[in-house]
Amino acid sequence: MGFLKQLDNTIAKVLEWILVGLFMVFFALVCILVVLRYGFNDTIYGGNEFVTIAFLFTSALGAAVGVSRREHIAITVFVDLLPEWPKRIAYCLQLALVALINSYMVYYSWNWIKLTGKTAWQPFDWPQGIVQASIPVGCGLAVLFCLIKILLTLTKRESVELLWVPED
Say if residues 92 and 148 touch (Cβ distance below 8 Å): no
Q: What is the pLDDT along the chain (168 residues), one digit of tens a residue?
A: 688 889 999 999 999 999 999 999 989 999 999 999 999 999 898 888 888 888 889 999 999 999 999 887 777 788 888 898 999 999 999 999 999 999 999 999 988 898 888 888 878 888 888 888 999 999 999 999 999 999 999 998 887 775 444 454
Residue 30 in any domain: the answer is yes
> What DSSP state is assigned to residue 163?
S
Report phi then psi at 126, rounded to 5.
-85, 155
Counting the structural domains of the chain, the total is 1
Say if residues 139 and 132 touch (Cβ distance below 8 Å): no
pTM here? 0.85
The domain of 120 spans 2-154
Residue 165 in any domain: the answer is no
Residue 104 in any domain: the answer is yes
Query: In terms of Cα–Cα distance, which of 113, 115, 106, 107 is closest to 129?
Result: 113
